[in-house]
Amino acid sequence: MNKKLLIGMICVLALGGFSWFKAQSVADPSWAQATMGTECHITLAGSVPKRDLAALRKKIDTALADVNHCMSTWQADTEISKFNAFQSLEPFPISPAFAEVMQSALAFSAATDGAFDPTVKPLVDHWGFGPAADEESLAEIMEAVGWQKVRLENNTLIKDHPELELDLSAIAKGYGVDCVAEVIRASGHPDFIVEIGGEIVAGGTNPSAKLWRIGIESPEPGRAFGEEIFQTVEISNKAMATSGDYRNFRVRSDGTRYSHIIDPHTGKPAMSDVAAVTVIAARCMDADAVATSLCVMGSEKGFQWLENHPEFQALFILHSNDGNTFTSKATAGFPVSEKQNRIGK
Ligand code: AMP
Ligand code: MG
């Protein structure tokens, strides 16, 4: 065979192979999967074979379904709902995943002096944010509330009060994001971002080989997601979670608002100066729990707490006294990429 013809044929075959490979893979794939009453958004940086992608999506579906099956209070057949319905003081066996999250939840309850409390479920219902209506008086409800009234022993949970009920919503989304991140990493993709309802894990770098840049939204009620960005941050191999009073709230007849975050000490919605707080940590479950806790504590107590917990960085967006603007305050090392100190509401 003519040498030139042979080289030409090899080039055509190589090009064909390259095009075939390209057609079989997706560049920087990005998709959403429904979960926990919201969506899980995932982006991978790099080219991923379609077959691998389909397998990965299946694994993520399974991981998310497992988390939901443990920790959703919105379905009756989940582990948490069965525990909540179990009005007995006998040990109730739970799965290792449920036990892992409960162990963290109780550790954060102790570390935050009860600002975080997984037993707030009857209060969440009472204030109209939960799956059930609770008509009992606040004093009656408080008898069954308190993180010291539930114990975790050898993968069983034991109630001290038969009506004690758990709500892990302040930590479960973060745990779910950690689980998805783990599945993605274990499948050989170090560069990715995963988000569920504002809780995020960013691995490695973005499709431009830079740090992942994330917008922290302005905590103004009624805005669409991401409509107004307060500040942007750049992270890599970190988790980030945000809590606030601007998305999930109710309005009283006098026009005042109250949010879904409950102060377990009073049994009432938290009334701190924090409009929103974003926390960065190694694990999303931890960032999630701390963000909720800081909303309860308020900025002054919250900053003191953070001084003793340097493994967390936080950005507080605070209601200012005039009621028309926000101010912000961040711990040292919070990875801000563009700073705006004040913006109008
Ligand atoms: P997050 O959006 O992560 O701040 O979680 C808020 C959700 O956690 C609420 O909708 C309640 O279901 C639950 N919750 C409210 N207050 C507390 C609290 N003080 N500690 C733990 N969970 C809470
Ligand atoms: Mg939280």
Q: How far apart are CA 259 and CA 255, in angstroms?
A: 13
**26-73+169-207, CATH topology level:** T-fold (3.10.520)
pTM over 0.85: yes
Residue 68 Cα, ligand 2 centroid: separation in angstroms? 16
- Per-residue confidence at 345, pLDDT binned at 50, 70, 90? very low
Residue 230: band (very low, low, confident or very high) from pLDDT cuts 50, 70, 90: very high
**Contact by Cβ (8 Å): 180, 56:** no
Cα–Cα distance, 217 to 200 (Å, whole number): 14
Q: Are 144 and 134 in contact (CB under 8 A)?
A: no
C-alpha span between 4 and 278 (Å, rounded):
63
Cα–Cα dist 318/230, whole Å = 12
What stretch(es) of the chain map to CATH 3.10.520.10? Answer: 26-73+169-207, 211-342
pLDDT tens by residue, 49-106: 999 999 999 999 999 999 999 999 999 999 999 999 999 999 999 999 999 999 999 9
Burial of 85 (0-12, 13-18, 19+ CB in 10 A): exposed
Span from the CA of 27 to the centroid of ligand 2 (angstroms): 33
The predicted-structure confidence for 245-301, as pLDDT tens digits, reads as follows 878 888 887 778 888 999 999 999 999 999 999 999 999 999 999 999 999 999 999
Q: Name beta bridge partners: 276.
A: 244, 317
User: What does the CA dihedral 92, 97, 103, 109 come to, rounded to 10 degrees?
Assistant: -100
Contact 102, 118 (CB under 8 A): yes
Beta bridge partners of 201: 194, 239
Identify which of 106, 120, 165 to mutate to test ligand 1's pocket (most ligand atoms within 8 A of the CB): 120
Query: What is the tens place of the pLDDT at every residue in 96-138?
Result: 999 999 999 999 999 999 999 999 999 999 999 888 877 789 9
Residue 19 confidence class, pLDDT cut points 50, 70, 90: low
Task: Return the pLDDT at 249.
Answer: 80
Residue 296 CA: nearest ligand 1 atom is 19
CB count, 10 Å around CB of 262?
26
Is the domain defined by 211-342 classed in CATH 3.40.50.720? no
- The CA 292 to ligand 2 mean position distance, Å, reads 4
User: Hey, how many other C-beta atoms are within 10 angstroms of the C-beta on 188?
Assistant: 9
Checking DSSP bridges between strand 25-27 and strand 47-49, what pairing results, if any?
antiparallel
CATH 1.10.3980.10 domain residues, the chain:
79-159
Topology of domain 79-159, CATH? T-fold (1.10.3980)
Pocket of ligand 1 from Cβ distances under 6 Å: 116-118, 120, 124, 129, 167, 169-170, 243, 260-262, 264, 288, 291-292, 296
